[in-house]
Structure 1
Amino acid sequence: MDLPVMPPVKPMLAKAVAKIPPDMHYEAKWDGFRAIVFRDGAETELGSRTGKPLTRYFPELVEALRERLPERCVMDGEILIARRGRLDFDALTERIHPADSRVRMLAERNPASFVAFDMLALADTSLLDVPLGDRRALLVKTLSGVTAPAHVAPATTDRETAQQWFERYEGAGLDGVVAKPLTLPYLPDERAMYKIKHERTADVVVAGYRFHKSGPVVGSLLLGLYDTTGALQHVGVSAAFTMKRRAELVEELEPLRLEDAAGHPWAAWTRESAHESARLPGAPSRWSAKKDPSWVPVRPERVAEVAYDHMENGVRFRHTARFRRWRPDRTAESCTYGQLEEPVGYDLAEILGPPG
């Protein structure tokens, strides 16, 4: 491979802001695997956000992009899998598997797509120093008429349209909106863009915690919600605390601390088979195989208000929830899935229209 921009390249990143800023280039924020595609003739490589290759996990996409992209190019975008008209992040994570046979089986069952939103090089020319507005125009021209599973990300310079996307597209599994200055060069691994994400709050049961890697202070709180059968399901964690607050949390939860998990709703967490029928902490995962899954059980009586962006498949927080405050006015039993706001459905196919 011999391109003007060579792998590995870490993609340009975005910093979080509360509102959509004016006078910029706007795109939907995709909930997939960020990927930079390098194609040089028959050679095609998919680079991840960390710079490590994703190529072997998406064989069907490599073949499709080799047929659809320019012979020599570098493009930034997102790898997605859609099921039933919305993005499915779990289906993406299933692809990161050591067995090639399983990867290919999943590729046939749920093929991936690639949404391009930037171009870093074309033929022998690097575009890293070219302003975004010019890169975007070249991207649209280059991929004019491209067919699925390759797409050009919809974009606009109208802030009102971007606000409508923010409000409407969540039902298709999108994260929010990204805003980019039109004069922006491509800056690898720098937070030079802006992301505006959905945020909601929920009251959850704190049913345990993990220690921080630095010592006997809280690393993360384990959060639960009751389902319609009355079972407490593990829905995620809250982990962003100052060291002072981590120590305070240990003291605040000490009266509820249990010697062991016997009698706790998640007592079966050490049995691998138990994770097949319930959401429990410490589930086996190739993402966290080297991490210590142990946790400190507490009586599930304390309620916390947390902020979250959205739910993954309606059963767990997609990202780490953000602790807001204790809710002494709420009972643990009242913390159910029923309180969660469900975004109105929106067909992903309607978003991935022709490039423009």
Structure 2
Amino acid sequence: MDLPVMPPVKPMLAKPAKKIPPGMQYEAKWDGFRAIVFRDGDEIEIGSRTGKSLVRYLPELVAALKANLPERCVVDGEIVIVRNGRLDFDAITERIHPAASRVKLLAETTPSSFVAFDLLALGDDSLVDTPLTERRAALEKALAKAAPPIHLAPATTDEKVAEGWFEQYEGAGLDGVIAKPLDSLYRQNERLMTKVKHERTADVVLAGFRWHKSGPVVGSLLLGINDAEGRLQHVGVCAAFSMKRREELVEELEPLRMESVEGHPWADWANEEAHESARLPGAPSRWSGQKDLSWVPLRPERVLEVAYDHMENGQRFRHTAQWRRWRPDRTPESCTFEQLEEPLSYDLGEVLGGSAAGQG
């Protein structure tokens, strides 16, 4: 492979904001695996955000990229899986599997797509020092004849249109809007873009915690919500605390600590088979590797309010929740899934001009 921009490349990043900024190019914020694709003739490399190659896990996408991308190019985009008109992040995480037989099966049953939104090189020319407006024009021309599962990400400079996308696209599984300065150059690993994401709050039951990797202070709080049958389901963690607050939490939670998981709603957490029928902390994961997923059980008696962006498949927080406050006025039994706001359904095919409809 011999391209003007060579792997590994760290993608340009975005800093968070609460409102959509004016005077920029706007795109939907895709919920998948960020990837830089390199093509030089028959050679394809797909680099993850960390630089890890994803080629072996996505054979069907490699073939599609060869069929749809220019002969020599470097493209920034997102790998996604579409099921029932929505993005399915759980499905894309399952694609990273060590067994070749499993990779082959998943390539057939949950095929991936690639949404392109920036062009770093074309032919013998590097475009990293070219303004965004020119890169976008070149990308649109390069992908003018692309067909599913390769897509060109919709973009606009109309702030009102972007506001409409922010409200509508969430129903298709997207999680916000990205704003890019029109004259911005492509700079690896720099937060030159802006991301505006949805934020909601929920009252959740505190049911345990994990120790911090640095020592005997609280690392993360384990959160639960009751399902329709009254079973406490693990929905995620809250982990962003100052070191002082982590120390305070150890003392604050001491009266709730249990000597063992016996009698706790998540007593079966160490039983791998139990994870198939219930959502418990410490589920086996290829991403966690050798990470210690043990936890300290707490009597599930306290309620706290957290902020979150959206739920993955209506079952768990897609990202780490953010602490807001204790809720002594709420009972654990009152924390149910009914409190969660559901975005209106919106078919992803509408986002991509109908080209994604029916996939998955």
2:78 and 2:353 mapped to 1: Cα distance?
Answer: 16
| 1:125-164 matched pairs, under 5 angstroms | 125-164=125-164
Percent identity over paired residues? 73
Q: TM-score scaled by structure 1? A: 0.99
Amino acid at match of 2:171: G
Runs of 4+ in 1 over 4 A off after TM superposition: none
- Cα-to-partner distance string for 1:203-227 (whole Å, 9 max, x where unaligned): 0000000000111111000000000
The residue identity in structure 1 corresponding to 2:301 is E
Contact preservation (8 Å) 1:2, 1:40: yes
Q: CA RMSD in A?
A: 0.9
> How far apart, in 1, do the equivalents of 2:305 and 2:159 lie?
32
Aligned to 2:358: none
Match in the other structure for 1:349: 349
Match of 1:323 in 2: 323
Is 1:64 aligned with 2:64? yes
Once the 2 structures are TM-superposed, how far is the Cα of residue 101 of structure 1 from its aligned partner?
Answer: 1.1
Other structure's SS at 1:146 match:
coil
Matched, 1:340 2:335: no
Contact kept, 8 Å, 2:68 with 2:145, in 1: the verdict is no
Contact persistence 1:152–1:354 (CA under 8 A): no
- What is the SS of the residue equivalent to 2:268? helix
Q: CA deviation at 1:145?
A: 2.4
- Counterpart residue identity of residue 63, structure 1: A
Tell me the amino acid that sits aligned with residue 187 of structure 2: L
Counterpart in the other structure of 2:248: 248
Counterpart of 1:115?
115
Question: 8 Å contact 1:226–1:232 — kept in the other structure?
Answer: yes
How do residues 220-235 of structure 1 correspond to structure 2 at under 5 angstroms?
220-235=220-235
Counting only pairs closer than 5 Å after superposition, residues 290-305 of structure 1 correspond to structure 2 as: 290-305=290-305
Offset of residue 110 of structure 1 = 1.3
Q: Distance in 2 between matches of 1:253 and 1:354?
A: 51
Residue 297 (structure 2) pairs with residue 289 (structure 1): no
Q: Which residue type is aligned with residue 207 of structure 1?
A: A
Q: Structure 1 residue 306 and structure 2 residue 310: aligned?
A: no
Counterpart contact for 1:226–1:335, Cα < 8 Å: yes
- The match for 1:188 is 188
Amino acid at match of 1:255: P
Is 2:197 aligned against 1:197?
yes
Residue identity in the other structure for 2:12: M
Match of 1:80 in 2: 80
Q: Give the counterpart letter for 2:3 in structure 1.
A: L
The alpha-carbon deviation at position 354 of structure 1 amounts to 8.0
- Number of the residue aligned with 2:53: 53
2:276 maps to which residue?
Answer: 276
The residue type paired with residue 341 of structure 1 is E
Give the secondary structure class of the aligned counterpart of 1:345: coil
- Does the residue aligned with 1:2 lie in a helix, a strand or coil? coil
Unaligned runs of 5+ in 1: none
CA contact (8 A) 1:145 1:354 kept: no
One-letter code aligned to 2:82: A
Residues 29-40 of structure 1: pairs in structure 2 closer than 5 A: 29-40=29-40
Aligned residues: 355
Letter in 2 for 1:169: Y
**In the superposition, relative to structure 1, how do residues 354 and 24 fare at CA in structure 2: closer, same or farther (>3 Å)?**
farther
User: What TM-score do you get using the length of structure 2 for normalisation?
Assistant: 0.98
